Amino acid sequence: METPEVSRRRGTRRRGGAWCAGLVALAAGVVLAAGCGGADSVREPQARHLLLITVDTLRADRLGCYGGREGVSPAIDRLAHEGTLFDEAYTPLSLTLPSMTTLFTSKYPEETGILRNHFKLEDSEETLAERLAALGLRTSAFVTNPVLRAHDAEVPGPRIDQGFADYEWFADDVSMAEAAQAHMETAFGKEGRAFTWVHFVEPHQPYEPAAPYDALFTPADYVGEWDGSTEALNRVFSEQVDLGPDDLEQVLGIYDGTVRLVDDLVRGLVDALDARGLAEDTLVVFAADHGEDLYDHHRYFYHSKSVYRSSARIPLVFRQPGTVQAGARRDDLVVGVDLLPTLVGHAGGDPTQCAPGNTPRGLDLGATLRSSESVRRSHIVTTWRDSIHVLRTSRWSFVHNPEGVIPLDPPLDPHYVIGKQELYDLAVDPNEQVDVAAEHPEIVAQMRTLLEAWRAGMRAGAAPEALQDPRLAEMLDQLGY
Ligand SMILES: [Zn+2]
């Protein structure tokens, strides 16, 4: 469950230790990486400040910059225009906490054990916030999804607040954005360093934005019964309702209106930053925790059952004028584990210098952001918990579900049937609608071998991307690499 609560509850956690250590490091004129501090870890910071904006349940292809309708996301589109957009970015698991812990640990959910919401991140995990704090950045978080609440004695949390000096949860996005903006007025300046994470819960279900957002993109003459309430959308799935084109357009219009609401709040944060002359000093990262199935598969509106591109693909944009390439659009395969090494490297740390057991699984995308160097990765793997795996190359996606597991996240109706193996040709079928496994047994066999090698690498603790098996290299050649 990750339904937002109605009541408002705020909690603030302050952890002075890491920030004080960072101050000491700054005072000494030395940039230290967490867990070590050796000379090898000294790098030139590429940005004074980092602003990470994540949006819950934001499906990439609803945004204008990803091919969505005009007017849904003008502020996010502008960020993409002024920065670098990744067209093929994925979360390893389409659920809030597993996704965000992946971003913050550079480990896959199977490694951290965070396969569902309400699981607890171990203290031994060295998080992005902890690493940035050790580099001297003031770390702050503003979140609205209750799944991401700070841990305290009253309400145990998932411990994703590790490393944040300030961590505040709000019951609505508007209040949260106002508080985040006020905080950035003091934390972001021409002196000092700051990392702020802002997480919007909208457009998470129910899709029920306030006026005027509720009617911005809906058909003017709609007379049907469907809306964006959780009750209605669950009924479509439970009763396997055939929606007409107008019904679907109505629901999608409400969803898009909710996206526009968040876009206006994102505009406020970025404009405030730019108006103070801090654009060049600040790396802005825009992403989602996961996407959303919007009636694409099994008449389902949600994400927690899905293994498909509709929910696994996320928007990912980096902007820093003068440092990050402007107007660049990349089709490299990137995944949530890449965020930590990229941000730590950009902030002046060495991502590989860390406490034992915390070596990043992901890749530092810094060279790609600054000089268009290609990301060295041929395939990625996403999962549903640890029982269904999907291996993707730029051409194919292969679903491996050997036990025939039916995801039974709420609602519990068993309609989301996933084959034991499915294959989709993304070149002609990017929304994964037509299973062509039976027509391409040789591709299926190759994808299975790649997946087995990836999983063996995971079990062995090796970075899957770094596997150097010549048989795999030959197979990748055959697949077009
Ligand atoms: Zn989420």
* Angstrom distance (rounded) from CA 4 to CA 96: 12
pLDDT tens figures, 302-361: 999 999 999 999 999 999 999 999 999 999 999 999 999 999 999 999 999 999 899 999
Q: What is the CA(479)–ligand 1 centre distance, in A?
A: 33
**pTM of the complete model:** 0.89
* Angstrom distance (rounded) from CA 445 to CA 451: 10
pLDDT tens figures, 456-472: 888 876 544 433 445 55
Q: What is the CA(467)–ligand 1 centre distance, in A?
A: 31
Q: What is the CA(45)–ligand 1 centre distance, in A?
A: 31
Q: What is the CA(290)–ligand 1 centre distance, in A?
A: 6
Q: What is the CA(415)–ligand 1 centre distance, in A?
A: 22
Q: What is the CA(95)–ligand 1 centre distance, in A?
A: 5
Q: What is the pLDDT of residue 84?
A: 98
CA-based torsion, 364, 367, 372, 378: positive or negative: negative
Q: What is the pLDDT of residue 119?
A: 86
Site of tokens 């870890």: 41
Q: What is the CA(96)–ligand 1 centre distance, in A?
A: 4
Q: What is the CA(246)–ligand 1 centre distance, in A?
A: 27
Q: What is the CA(119)–ligand 1 centre distance, in A?
A: 14
Q: What is the CA(171)–ligand 1 centre distance, in A?
A: 15
Q: What is the CA(440)–ligand 1 centre distance, in A?
A: 34
Q: What is the CA(104)–ligand 1 centre distance, in A?
A: 15
Q: What is the CA(452)–ligand 1 centre distance, in A?
A: 28
Instruction: Name the β-bridge partners of 139.
Output: 195
Q: What is the CA(454)–ligand 1 centre distance, in A?
A: 26
User: Cβ neighbours of residue 262 under 8 Å, at least 6 residues apart?
Assistant: 55, 58, 173, 200, 202, 203
Q: What is the CA(439)–ligand 1 centre distance, in A?
A: 35
Q: What is the 3-state secondary structure (H, E, C) of the chain?
A: CCCCCCCCCCCECCCHHHHHHHHHHHHCCCCCCCCCCCHHHCCCCCCCEEEEEEECCCCHHHCHHHCCCCCCCHHHHHHHHHCEEEEEEECCCCCHHHHHHHHHHCCCHHHHCCCCCCCCCCCCCCCHHHHHHHCCCEEEEEECCHHHCCCCCCCCCCCCCCCCCEEEECCCHHHHHHHHHHHHHHHCCCCCCEEEEEEECCCCCCCCCCCCHHHCCCCCCCCCCCCCCHHHHHHHHHCCCCCCHHHHHHHHHHHHHHHHHHHHHHHHHHHHHHHCCCCCCEEEEEEECCCCEECCCCCCEECCCCCCHHHHEEEEEEECCCCCCCCEEEEEEEEHHHHHHHHHHHCCCCCCCCCCCCCCCCCCCHHHHHHCCCCCCCCEEEEECCCEEEEECCCEEEEECCCCCCCCCCCCCCCCCCCCEEEEECCCCCCCCCCCHHHCHHHHHHHHHHHHHHHHHHHHCCCHHHCCCHHHHHHHHHCCC
Q: What is the pLDDT of residue 207?
A: 98
Cα 201 → chain centroid: 13
User: Cβ neighbours of residue 426 under 8 Å, at least 6 residues apart?
Assistant: 309, 392, 394, 395, 396, 397, 432
Q: What is the CA(269)–ligand 1 centre distance, in A?
A: 21
Specify the amino acid at residue 309: R
Q: What is the pLDDT of residue 459?
A: 80
Q: What is the pLDDT of residue 457?
A: 84
Q: What is the CA(475)–ligand 1 centre distance, in A?
A: 35
Q: What is the CA(349)–ligand 1 centre distance, in A?
A: 29
Pair of tokens at residue 462: 């090796």
Q: What is the pLDDT of residue 462?
A: 54
Q: Which domains does the chain have, with CATH numbers?
A: 16-371 (3.40.720.10), 380-478 (3.30.1120.10)
* Angstrom distance (rounded) from CA 71 to CA 257: 10
Q: What is the CA(206)–ligand 1 centre distance, in A?
A: 12
Tell me which residues of the chain have a pLDDT lower than 70: 1-42, 461-481
Q: What is the CA(476)–ligand 1 centre distance, in A?
A: 33
Q: What is the pLDDT of residue 477?
A: 54
Query: Nearest Cα to 327, choosing from 67, 79, 50, 89?
Result: 79
